[in-house]
Amino acid sequence: MSFTGDVRSMALEEVFGFLSQNGLTGSLAVQSGDEVSLRLYFSEGSLFFPDRSRRGTYHLGKILRHTGVLSREGLAGYLSDLSARKKQLADDDSPGVQQAKQMQFTEEIHDLFLWGDARFEFKPGPWPARVQADHKAGRGLQLVVSSLLMDVARRVDERRRIRASLPSSRLVLRTEEGRAEAVLSGLKEAGIEVSSDPFDGEVDLDQLLADWGAPHHEALSAVGLLLEAGVLAPLPLEEARERLRERMGQPDYLALERLLGHWAELRAGGERFGLDVEQELITSPAFTQGPEGAIRFRLSGPRVFTLLRVLLSLQSSFTLRVFHRGETKRVDALPGEVSLSVGERREAPCAPLVDYLVRQGALKKEVGQAWKGHPPEERPSLRSLVSQGQFDAAQRAKLVDELAELAFWGRADVELRNRCQPGNEAERLLVLPLDDEVRGKISEGLEEWAGVFELVPGEEALYVPKKAFKEGDPAGRFFQRFGVEANVGELRRRAQTTELEFVRFVQQGLRRGYIQPASMVVLSEHLADAKAAGNDVQSYRLALAGQCFGYPGFPKLVAELGRRTDLPSPFPGLEGDLDGTGLGAVLQALRNHRRTGSLVVRAGRREERLHFHRGDAFLLKIEGGEDDAFVAFFLDDDEGGGLFGDDDDDEE
């Protein structure tokens, strides 16, 4: 049984338990962002972590110092003669060194359970020959999964406390005045010996963890306690802004990256599509004209969209890579050319290029349908069917939509390079010539989408009917479904359409006066009712809508409610095949973990859906075909714009 998933939807504890209880054999890869990954091997309830799979997070010499096998002086000597000592330690089978090796491997596995944003993929089958050889020779760590999970469970409260006090390891921390001794003492209790206070307000926690080489769980727990005691504090937002501005004149990209990463984490709230010091940085001469370099940080999808609007308006080269939930988009801008590359994705967020050619009248609808009906290897080149100008116009329209789709991504990992480094040719989806005219048209297209997002700022938004429904008005009937019980994203999934298509449709409903945004007063009244009824899910839905619209006070409610509930996710918690594992094993796992959600099972063209509530399964049947009508409302509109009738009665 192969499957993939996300730790935000299904915890790794559940995944490990499922693999162990069903005796599955294969490899489990866990990846966070683009580069940080770990691969483990499972078989019959046991786990093997080969030496070659280690990320090298923990320095063996520092682990030996942490466990008391090496003195401080011994560690210094070890580091001064590293190459000779490395092989010697690898062959050392003394109890102290073996214990340190076990700790070194085990702590890297425990790190996985601290990752709050990661994807996993299990591939069944025999282990590779080199892994089998490592396993036979004892080059790695072997654990009984059930024993590991017991240890993971013992640490669960500490992990919660760490996440509560340290939302990100990108934070830059500073010691409060007069508390340096308390810092040194707190770190020493955790086995971290430093000669001076490391929290100077310049270095992020990621770098400190790498320098210490101590187990992350213990180190983060110690830092969390110092934060809770008021000994440490994050560098204030305004001070981080000023330091960023000071360093913009100095092309020290590492310092800029640390401060910008810290800034972006603290400024998670604020104007949804607004940039601040991020825009100052990317437009500064130090970045646009300085030596080549890259900065990495996290940014919400709406702000990534704004970032791209700014970058494409400049006359400079760049490469921007964005990673979110296992998907990647890459924009390369060179003098005279712009390209978009994409990695593997579950489904395309925009129509294929042939549909853009049909919409623009460059191809007849029948020709486009016939082209899609051919096997990919037998399709003629679209470029050969239309003029170069028509082809470039379709590419430009698709590029604009692909970039606009980024506005629906959550917090994403971003890498921005101030020079262009063209990516893999095979992954290039679109390549366009870029001159002032094309740049202007791309900017116009993105500006148009910005206008849409001003009215429909996100899928968390809630709208309520404004007009009374009239018979014979399909649009009016459709918009009567809107209300505070379902947000834009939930309604879109029922309509089975893409984010971009649906928000344009909502924009039309707003312009025609069918619906209106739920006001702050309306949301507050319904929120009070939901809280009184103990309905956390509805309370969270309302709070998210208020935050989406920028109403004051709602971000705080989102933070409070988000710690204990969530809305139905548009992303599968787990998806894969049932080859080698019966459906009963999946159902039993859902019941054991008291999961709430839906399970879709497909065999060919047949599909069955089961709904779970706290582990109990239900099969629902909707009478009257209402959902079918909801979907058909979109499917009727092949040409676009026909569902509202004439355009003369827009209500602004």
Q: What are the pLDDT digits (tens) for 215-236?
A: 788 888 999 999 999 999 999 9
- Residue 49 gets which letter from DSSP? E
Q: Same structural domain for residues 138 and 189? A: no
Distance CA 173, CA 224 (A): 11
Question: Which tokens go with 487?
Answer: 């947000």
In a domain, 532, yes or no: no
Alpha helices in 422-553 (DSSP H): 436-455, 474-479, 488-495, 499-511, 520-532, 536-549
Q: Same structural domain for residues 430 and 347? A: yes
Look at the chain and report how many structural domains it folds into: 4
Q: Same structural domain for residues 48 and 142? A: yes
Residue finishing a domain among 419, 445, 471: 445
In a domain, 563, yes or no: no
Portion of the chain with pLDDT greater than 70, in percent: 83
In a domain, 176, yes or no: yes
Q: Same structural domain for residues 112 and 191? A: no
Q: Same structural domain for residues 355 and 413? A: yes
Q: Same structural domain for residues 62 and 42? A: yes
This prediction's pTM? 0.80
Structural contact between residues 5 and 573, judged by C-beta atoms closer than 8 angstroms? yes
Q: Same structural domain for residues 9 and 125? A: yes
Q: Same structural domain for residues 46 and 139? A: yes
The arithmetic mean of pLDDT across residues 383-393, rounded, is: 94
Nearest-CA neighbor of 565 among 536, 541, 543?
A: 536
pLDDT higher at 26 or 110: 26
In a domain, 280, yes or no: no
Nearest-CA neighbor of 134 among 14, 50, 46?
A: 50
Burial label, 176 (beta-carbon count in 10 A; 0-12, 13-18, 19+): middle
pLDDT recorded at residue 34: 58
Cα angle value 587/588/592 (rounded, 5°): 120
Nearest-CA neighbor of 573 among 556, 593, 557?
A: 593
Residue finishing a domain among 417, 445, 473: 445
Confidence class for position 90, pLDDT limits 50, 70, 90? low
pLDDT recorded at residue 67: 38
Residues ≥6 apart with Cβ < 8 Å to 271: 550
In a domain, 163, yes or no: yes
In a domain, 642, yes or no: no
Distance CA 474, CA 466 (A): 15
pLDDT recorded at residue 631: 56
In a domain, 79, yes or no: yes
Confidence class for position 77, pLDDT limits 50, 70, 90? very low
Distance CA 497, CA 479 (A): 16
User: Residues 264-282: pLDDT tens digits?
Assistant: 888 866 789 999 999 998 8
Distance CA 267, CA 265 (A): 6
In a domain, 348, yes or no: yes
Give the domain extent around 600. 582-620
Distance CA 247, CA 255 (A): 8
Average pLDDT, the chain: 83
Single-letter amino acid code for the residue at 601: V
Burial readout 270-282 (b: 16 or more C-beta within 10 A, e: otherwise): eebbebbbbeebb
